[in-house]
Amino acid sequence: MPVGTQGTIKGLTNSQLEDIGCQIILGNTYHLALRPTSELLAEAGGLHKFMNWRRAMLTDSGGFQMVSLLHLADITEKGVTFQSPVDGKPMLLTPEESIQIQNRIGADIIMALDDVVKTTITGPRIEEAMYRTLRWIDRCIEAHGRPHDQNLFGIVQGGLDPVLRDICIKGLVDRNLPGYAIGGLAGGEDKDSFWRVVAQCTGSLPEDKPRYVMGVGYPLDVVVCSALGADMYDCVYPTRTARFGTALVPEGVLKLKQRAMADDTRPIDPTCPCMVCKNYSRAYIHCLVTKDAMGSQLLSYHNLYYMMQLSRDLHSSIVEGRFPKFVCDFLSKMFPEGNVPEWVCNAMEVAGIDISSCCTFSERVCNAKVAGIDISSDCTLSSSCGEHDSDNVSDKYDELKLKLERLRNNEDALRR
């Protein structure tokens, strides 16, 4: 879902969003309540009519602003009081008020107000936030005035603590909601912890209802989470990175501001059929991103097209029973030398997807661990560019094979 915080996707028109196949966008309850106000939106017939968007819409609850605007927020059992960034006045957002605002906005999917904390925080605050989220969901359900028109999703909290996550999952599932979100991630936690939380939540939430990982939008993360059973995602990444002159491509990212792009007459992605890749060169966009807003608009269009196509390809591969091949093809393009990050390999193993055909590097790491060889200092993993020092790895790998051969000839050593 592209993120349209205040009822617009930056740099794109609604017709362009329809052209690239966008079916649903996300709006921000907190910001829409401040400007143009939910009262005005209700008077206009809801946000769909106000912005002339004929497809689906989701609004978040305003809970994320407890993290992003923490310096302006005071959180209590009653709700969260923000200092408005518009006029400085205090604004109390309770579970009831959040739902009432979303009822007036009129989105097809609305989110319960949750108590959000960064996953990097430890201690009793995580437990407090999880239990408060469960108490607030009941207040949200009670306040929901349009249950037949709008689907209310609950949000699983609990930080990186599997026990707290389990408690929250059980509490939300017991309330039999239309859908469920996995919240509190993509906030600075390590990738190994990230995928494990997703796997735990998707494994326990109902399979016949949407499972939405909030704030996730990197292509690699979307593929991994889909393999683990997630269905929905949102993130500002495709459009935000476009404004910094970066394009999404199957190999990772392409930085159009770099000097090497100045005389490159190829399209951003020769395999992409989007309007930008059909009509403009890297050199042309390079000139624009350094001087003209049109550059970020063209890159936003391409990046969102890329994400929409990725989503369509994911969906069709699942429906047609060829998802494992899709994953291997995706990883082979992003990591052509086989240096798939270890966290991805671990996640795919749990998901039951064999990626050995495109993950030669992970096999080397695994064998290195058996032989007691540390090659991490010689290998630089990068999910964005897929580079590593192949010469150093090859030298270490030769050393590894010799040690493994000695180990195989010594049963006692193998047993230890």
List, for residues 268-293, the tens digit of each pLDDT value: 999 999 999 999 999 999 999 978 99
Q: Does 195 share its domain with 294?
A: no
Catalytic residue among 60, 115, 221, 269: 60
Domain span at residue 187?
14-235
Is 291 among the domain residues?
A: yes
Q: Is the dihedral of CA 98, 103, 107, 112 positive or negative?
A: positive
**Averaged pLDDT for residues 326-336:** 97
Six-digit token string for 325? 């091949």
**pLDDT (tens digit per residue) in 106-128:** 999 999 999 998 888 889 999 99
Look at residue 363 and tell me whether its pLDDT is greater than 90: no
Whether residue 60 is annotated as binding a ligand: the answer is yes
pLDDT of residue 412: 47
Q: Does 141 share its domain with 247?
A: no
**pLDDT (tens digit per residue) in 370-400:** 444 444 444 333 333 333 333 444 444 455 4
pLDDT of residue 375: 40
Which residue is it, tokens 């923490």?
70
Which residue is it, tokens 């929409």?
308
pLDDT of residue 379: 38
pLDDT of residue 24: 97
> How far out from the chain centre does Cα 67 lie?
17
How many Å apart are CA 325 and CA 314, to the nearest integer? 11
Whether residue 184 is annotated as binding a ligand: the answer is yes
Q: Do 157 and 114 contact (CB within 8 A), yes or no?
A: yes
How many Å apart are CA 228 and CA 350, to the nearest integer? 8
Q: Is 313 a catalytic residue?
A: no
Is 362 among the domain residues?
A: no
Q: Does 280 share its domain with 199?
A: no
Q: Does 193 share its domain with 221?
A: yes
Q: Give the pLDDT band (50/70/90) at residue 72.
A: low
Q: Residue 136, exposed/middle/buried by CB under 10 A (0-12, 13-18, 19+)?
A: buried
Whether residue 277 is annotated as binding a ligand: the answer is yes
Look at residue 349 and tell me whether its pLDDT is greater than 80: yes
Is 67 among the domain residues?
A: yes
Q: Is 234 a catalytic residue?
A: yes
pLDDT of residue 359: 82
**Averaged pLDDT for residues 138-155:** 98
When divided into structural domains, the chain yields a total of: 2
Look at residue 94 and tell me whether its pLDDT is greater than 80: yes
Whether residue 323 is annotated as binding a ligand: the answer is no
Catalytic residue among 115, 221, 234, 269: 234
Q: Give the pLDDT band (50/70/90) at residue 405.
A: low
Whether residue 61 is annotated as binding a ligand: the answer is yes
pLDDT of residue 11: 87
How many Å apart are CA 134 and CA 200, to the nearest integer? 18
- Residue predicted with more confidence, 188 or 167: 167
pLDDT of residue 69: 62
